[in-house]
Amino acid sequence: MHIQNRRILILGGFGLVGTAVCRELLKRSPAALHIHSLRLSEAEKARDLLLPEKGQCELEVCEGDIFSRDSDGDTVSQQLFGQVGPLRDNDLPKYNLYRMLAEIQPDIVIDCVNTATGIAYRNIFRAAEKACVALETGDPDGEAMQQLLESLYIPRLIRHIQVLYRGMTDCATGVYIKVGTTGTGGMGMNVPYTHSEEKPSRMLLSKSALAGAHSMLLFLMARTPDAPITKELKPAAAIGWKSIGYGPINRKDGPIRMVNARPMPLGQDFSTFDPSAAELRDDVMENVYIDTGENGIFSLEEFSALTTSEQMEFITPEEIATQLVYEIEGGNTGFDIINALDNTTMGPSYRAGLMRHWALEKMVELEKTHDTHSVAFEMLGPPRLSKLLFESHLLRLAYGKMSAVRKADAADLTHILNTLVLENPEVANRIVSTGIPILLDDMRLIRGQKVILPSEAKQISITDERLETWVNDGWVDLRAANCARWIQRFRCIHEELQAIPREDTSSRHLRQHRFWHEENLILPGKIAGWVFAVEDHGSRMK
C-alpha cells in the first residue's frame, strides 16, 4: 500500500520503535499520523519531537489502555465476565481500542505496543497458589478467586484480538502490522536475564508463551478474507538505544538512594529490608547510563554484558522501522513472521554491532570525565549479573590485568579484596546501594537497607543451603573459595587462548587474544558474558 496521503494509527508511538517508525513514515508524506500512548503526556511528547519533520502531515495524539474496557457501573463479576464471556456487538463500543479505531478510521494500523508484557504483567502463578490454598482449606476466598481470574492471560489476549479484528474490519483498515517480541531477546530457555530465583522464570516464559500465542492469532487473522493485510515483525534481540548520559539513576520506584554501610554480623536470620543495616543518605546515585526505552537504563558494563557476543546482543529501532515501512509498501523483506513463522526473526545486525562500539566508547569517555565506573544498577537482571560485574570490577581495581589475577594466590587475593572494600567504604557503598550485599571472608556482611536477593524475606532463618544460594545468585562473595574460583576462571580463559595458534588470524575463533586485549585489561561486561555463556550455559545459539 502507498503511504502517501494515508491516515495511519501508530499504537505505542511514544516508544523507541514507535518513534522510529513515525520518522520513517514522515519521509513518505502521509495525510495524518495518529500517535498513541498509554498516557496523553507521552503521546504529546512524541508529537512535539516529530514536529520539525512533519511537513504537510497532520500529527494527532490519542491515549488509553488498548486492552481495557469501560467498567463504569459494572460489578466485579461483570468486569471479569467482560474479558472471558462472549463478545457481543453492543459491547464493542465499551472497549477503548474499538472506539479509537472507529473515531480515527485509519488506513494503516502499526502496533508497536509490547502486548505480551501489557497482558501478562499479573502473576498468574501466585494467584493460582492462593486459590489452591483456599481450595485445600475448604475456605472459599473470593479475593483469591478474583485475582486468579484477573490474571488469566489467554482470555485477555483473545478478547484483544477479537476487538482489534472487529474494529479494523468495521472501519475498512487496509494494513495491520505488528512489532512483536520473543520475550527473551532472542535467547532460549537458558536465558540468564531474569528477575527471579527460577531460571528461566515462569513469568518470563509466560510472556514468551503469550507472544507466541499472539503471533498465531495474527496468523489466523491474516487468513481471514475480510481482515486487513496482516504482518508481524519479531525482533530477536534487545532493542536500543534512546540516549547516553550522566546523571541520577532512576528505577521504576524512583532514584537509587545512596547509603553508608558498615560490616555487621551475618546472624542467624535474614530480612530483605532492614533500615538498621545502613544509613540512608540524602544524595542519590549518579553515574554514566544508557537509556534503552521501556527496558530501563543500564550501566556501561550491564549494556556491555547484554550486547556482547553470545548474549542478547541488540538491534536498532531504525532498522526495524525501515523493514516495517518496506513491508507496508509491498516489499518482501523476509522478516514477516506471518509468512514464515520459523524463518523470520530479526537478529542482531551489523549496524548495531558497529554502533555498539561507539556507544561503549562514549560511555567510557564519560566515565573518565566524571571519574567513575559504570558497573551495574541492578535493573537488567538477574542479581547474578550484578554480582559478577561487581566482583570483576573489584578485581579490576585491585589487579588491573587478567594475567595478574590468574597468577595470584587465592589467600592473597582474598585479603586484598576484603581490605579494598573495608578501607574504601565508598567502593562498597556504590555496590550495596544497588541492593547487592557484600559477604566478607570473616562472614561479616556489608549491605544496604534493602537487598534484591532474597526478595521479600522477613526474619527467615539463614541455613547453609539458603546462604550459598543467595551468594551464588546475587551477593558479592569475597570469601576465599570464590576468590579461588575467579583465579580458575581467568586461568580457564588463558587456556582457551593458549589453544589458539598465534598465526591463526582467521574468523574461526570468537574470543581470541584481541578480544581479551592480550589479558592486559579486566572488562567486567565481557567477563560476565563469558561466565553466562560458558559456566552457566546461557549462550546465544544463533
What pLDDT score was predicted for residue 345? 66
Angle 394-399-400 from CA coordinates, rounded to 5°: 90
Say yes or no to pLDDT of 196 above 70. Answer: no
242-285 pLDDT, tens digit per residue, is 899 999 999 888 899 999 999 999 989 999 999 999 999 999 99
Do the Cβ atoms of 299 and 364 come closer than 8 Å? no
Q: C-alpha cell of 153?
A: 492471560
Residues 458 and 442: their CA atoms lie apart, in Å, by 24
Q: Is the pLDDT of residue 539 over 90?
A: no
- What is the average per-residue pLDDT within 161-188? 95
Contact indicator for 414, 479 with CB cutoff of 8 Å? yes
Backbone torsions φ then ψ of 427, nearest 5 degrees: -60, -45
Largest CA distance in the chain: 77
Query: What is the spatial distance between Cα 514 and Cα 290, in angstroms, rounded to a whole number?
Result: 25
Among 382, 405, 381, which residue's Cα sits nearest to residue 393? 405
The pLDDT assigned to 60 comes to 97
Ranges of each domain in the chain: 7-73+88-121+161-235+315-346, 243-313+350-535
Burial class from Cβ neighbours inside 10 Å (0-12, 13-18, 19+) for residue 340 reads: exposed
**Is the model's pLDDT at 365 over the cut of 90?**
yes
Q: Kindly report, residue by residue over 85-99, the tens digit of the pLDDT.
A: 888 898 899 999 999
Residues near 532 by beta carbon (within 8 Å), at least 6 away in sequence? 192, 305, 310, 311, 385, 388, 538, 539
| d(C-alpha 172, C-alpha 109), whole Å | 11
* SS3 state of residue 61: strand
pLDDT grade for 306, boundaries at 50, 70 and 90: very high
Residue 513 · residue 284 · CB < 8 Å? no
For residue range 404-424, what is the model confidence (pLDDT) as tens digits?
A: 999 999 999 999 999 999 999
- Point out the least confidently predicted range of 77-81, 293-297, 376-380: 77-81
How much is the pLDDT for 417? Answer: 98
Contact at 8 Å (CB) between 437 and 274?
A: no
For residues 124 and 151, is the Cβ–Cβ distance under 8 A? yes
Q: Which three cell numbers stand for residue 244?
A: 547516553
Q: From CA 278, how far away is CA 280, in angstroms rounded?
A: 6
CA pair distance 532, 190, nearest whole angstrom: 9
- Rg of the chain over all Cα atoms, to the nearest angstrom: 26
- Per CATH, the number for 7-73+88-121+161-235+315-346 is 3.40.50.720
**Confidence band for 479, pLDDT divided at 50, 70 and 90:** very high
pLDDT at 152: 86
Give me the residues paired with residue 461 across strands. Answer: 269
pLDDT over 80 at 153, yes or no: yes
Distance CA 170, CA 98 (A): 9
**Helix spans in 285-349 (H):** 300-307, 317-328
- Please check whether residue 474 is in contact with residue 450, taking contact to mean a CB–CB distance below 8 angstroms: no
Does residue 214 register a pLDDT over 70? yes
Q: Give Cα separations from 251 to 284, 298, 432, 461, 486 (angstroms).
A: 12, 10, 15, 29, 30
Residue 237: count of CB within 10 angstroms of its CB: 24
pLDDT at 79: 75
